[in-house]
A and B are shown apart, each in its own frame.
Chain A
């Protein structure tokens, strides 16, 4: 058993008098895929934003690679190796596919000391990345506003696969994908995890969670209502945890990694 990649200890988040998270504790190991399940408003997206640096927790502690870590901004989280794919798409529709793929990480070459965008190299890299993932987009130079919802989500997914990092957070990544693309997306997640990257995936679809996850964490009303290895549970049991019929108790902090 190696040290877990990320440990959350008693994370709380209040919005005024409302407690969105009432003390969340769980952990994820390297190469592990954790499915985060819960009803609407359970606090899943809030939790993801806290891990990815978009929100600061009211209290609680996070350990990333054994060290205390709290990202102050998405940029800081990215620098530490935490990639996020958000529920509402994070693409700039007014620029082309290549610009979106390299958003904030453009490849440049220096000309008289001034960084100049290296469009040709970037386009070639995007073409390669999309071809590897089997995604077809007619023109990489087309503005994203002209692409379908599925194509947009494919760009986001390929972007995180390409950049890798150490931990990937996926907030309902398949909402706009077709059957075949979803299957490919799930394959992509396993492939990413096999490289030793931790993956936290939020989904509403039980079947997806059981297809891809090593462990299932259920959040209900701001607390962890269940934290179980996939092999020890069943969709029916998880549904009961989500709706609150059974309470399996909060999971232990740390030490659940494979």
Chain B
């Protein structure tokens, strides 16, 4: 095998999920009536914004060799906080600020601060107290959801302030601003992971924590920042969720965690840590979203989506193993 074919193969392996996405889109466009439309593609991107943003935080933590099961509940808490403060019906307090646009940064700040504090607690317990990330974030997954139900009393908040709703309605090049926020997040965090020392350190910590500690990298500090980021990003996802549904309910976003895991794994992130990139995760999110859309268009019962997502995760893991053996043969 010459160097050219090898580098081509490496390229395909590195970006496999993008090729899968293109392949799936091509198949659906050919077979599913009405699939091949700009509007459908815009819808795929739009529908994936909340899941996409949440997957970024999850991916950061998994790449650094840990786990955050709490992102779904944290997003719900962020959405509920925004809902209670800025909704005018239901349990909403209907706070208004003048000028009106001030509510946008305020609500954003609330959601991110709520998420960031849960993330900080997770990070502190995991790194400083040395507890297992899986258990700690499982606990957070449960108690944060409990908190959402408790503060809302099981009721919902409706009619989010129009100034905040504006993000879901206003479009730029055919996409609502919420979708652009998700895209910007992916671009921003992809750059952080690929180009800054912080991102490089997270990847190396995920690869060999002892080595990074010996090399003088402040491992605990970096990990706490990663957890705070995951929490904050989950809060942002909650903010987007509140905007999308124009309010918040106690069971908002239930099941998103498993989709986020699916997207991250399909996107090529190894659950062992140290391997994976955010653009791949975005492709994974888009892949899930395009399959959902196809199922909707074909009029299949929605339950099928879950079956297909499960199979897709299995396929992704199998594919990953296959990729590993192929790479070893290449090296």
| Chain A interfacial positions (CB closer than 8 Å to B) | 52, 54, 73-75, 78-79, 84, 86, 89-95, 99, 103-106, 108, 114-117, 145-146
In the bound assembly, the distance between CA atoms of A75 and B221 in angstroms comes to 13
Evaluate contact between A106 and B215: CB separation under 8 angstroms: no
What distance in Å separates the Cβ of B225 from its nearest Cβ neighbour in chain A? 14
Q: Given A103-B211, A116-B195, verify A95-B200 contact (CB < 8 Å).
A: yes
Evaluate contact between A79 and B196: CB separation under 8 angstroms: no
**Among the listed stretches B103-111, B123-131, B202-210, B313-321, which one makes contact with chain A, having 4 or more residues with CB under 8 Å of it?**
B202-210
What distance in Å separates the Cβ of B229 from its nearest Cβ neighbour in chain A? 15
Would you list which residues of chain B between 218 and 251 have a CB under 8 Å from chain A? 218
Evaluate contact between A91 and B195: CB separation under 8 angstroms: no
Evaluate contact between B217 and A103: CB separation under 8 angstroms: yes
Evaluate contact between B204 and A74: CB separation under 8 angstroms: no
A-B contacts besides A90-B210, A103-B204, 19 pairs, CB < 8 Å: A73-B213, A73-B216, A74-B214, A75-B218, A79-B216, A89-B211, A90-B214, A92-B203, A92-B211, A94-B207, A94-B208, A95-B200, A95-B203, A95-B207, A103-B212, A104-B212, A106-B197, A117-B195, A117-B197
Assess whether B253 is interfacial by the CB under 8 Å rule: no
What distance in Å separates the Cβ of A168 from its nearest Cβ neighbour in chain B? 14
Query: Pick the contact of B214 from A79, A84, A93, A115 — CB < 8 Å?
Result: A84
Would you list which residues of chain B between 10 and 29 have a CB under 8 Å from chain A? none
Closest 10 CB pairs of A and B: A94-B207, A75-B216, A92-B207, A94-B274, A104-B215, A146-B331, A90-B211, A103-B215, A92-B204, A104-B217
Assess whether B275 is interfacial by the CB under 8 Å rule: yes
Minimal Cβ-Cβ distance residue in B for A52: B214
Evaluate contact between B211 and A74: CB separation under 8 angstroms: no
Most buried by B among A91, A92, A108: A92
Evaluate contact between B331 and A117: CB separation under 8 angstroms: no
What distance in Å separates the Cβ of A53 from its nearest Cβ neighbour in chain B? 9
What distance in Å separates the Cβ of B270 from its nearest Cβ neighbour in chain A? 9
List 16 contacting pairs A-B, 8 Å CB cutoff, sorted by A.
A74-B213, A74-B214, A75-B218, A78-B215, A79-B216, A93-B207, A93-B208, A94-B274, A95-B204, A95-B207, A95-B274, A103-B215, A104-B217, A105-B215, A116-B196, A146-B331
Task: Specify which chain A residues have a CB less than 8 angstroms from the CB of B208 in the assembled complex.
Answer: 90-94
Evaluate contact between A74 and B215: CB separation under 8 angstroms: yes
In the bound assembly, the distance between CA atoms of A95 and B205 in angstroms comes to 11
Q: Given A94-B275, A117-B195, verify A106-B200 contact (CB < 8 Å).
A: yes
Minimal Cβ-Cβ distance residue in A for B208: A92
What distance in Å separates the Cβ of B32 from its nearest Cβ neighbour in chain A? 39
Task: Specify which chain A residues have a CB less than 8 angstroms from the CB of B203 in the assembled complex.
Answer: 92, 94-95
In the bound assembly, the distance between CA atoms of A183 and B120 in angstroms comes to 50
Minimal Cβ-Cβ distance residue in A for B213: A74
How many B residues face the partner with a CB closer than 8 A? 22
What distance in Å separates the Cβ of B81 from its nearest Cβ neighbour in chain A? 30
In the bound assembly, the distance between CA atoms of A108 and B196 in angstroms comes to 8
Most buried by A among B195, B216, B217: B216
Task: Specify which chain B residues have a CB less than 8 angstroms from the CB of A75 in the assembled complex.
Answer: 216-218
Task: Specify which chain B residues have a CB less than 8 angstroms from the CB of A91 in the assembled complex.
Answer: 208, 211
Task: Specify which chain B residues have a CB less than 8 angstroms from the CB of A108 in the assembled complex.
Answer: 196-197
In the bound assembly, the distance between CA atoms of A104 and B205 in angstroms comes to 11
Minimal Cβ-Cβ distance residue in A for B203: A95
Task: Specify which chain B residues have a CB less than 8 angstroms from the CB of A92 in the assembled complex.
Answer: 203-204, 207-208, 211-212, 274
Evaluate contact between B216 and A99: CB separation under 8 angstroms: no
Task: Specify which chain B residues have a CB less than 8 angstroms from the CB of A78 in the assembled complex.
Answer: 215-216
Minimal Cβ-Cβ distance residue in B for A143: B331
Most buried by A among B196, B203, B211, B212: B211
Minimal Cβ-Cβ distance residue in A for B206: A94
Task: Specify which chain A residues have a CB less than 8 angstroms from the CB of B211 in the assembled complex.
Answer: 89-92, 103
What distance in Å separates the Cβ of A109 from its nearest Cβ neighbour in chain B? 11
Evaluate contact between A90 and B206: CB separation under 8 angstroms: no
Q: Given A95-B207, A116-B196, verify A74-B216 contact (CB < 8 Å).
A: yes
Minimal Cβ-Cβ distance residue in A for B330: A146
Task: Specify which chain B residues have a CB less than 8 angstroms from the CB of A103 in the assembled complex.
Answer: 204, 211-212, 215, 217
In the bound assembly, the distance between CA atoms of A145 and B203 in angstroms comes to 14
What distance in Å separates the Cβ of B61 from its nearest Cβ neighbour in chain A? 16
Evaluate contact between A104 and B331: CB separation under 8 angstroms: no
Task: Specify which chain B residues have a CB less than 8 angstroms from the CB of A90 in the assembled complex.
Answer: 208, 210-211, 214-215
In the bound assembly, the distance between CA atoms of A145 and B211 in angstroms comes to 14
Task: Specify which chain A residues have a CB less than 8 angstroms from the CB of B201 in the assembled complex.
Answer: 104
Against A, the Cβ 8 Å flags (1 = close, 0 = not) of B298-331 are: 0000000000000000000000000000000001
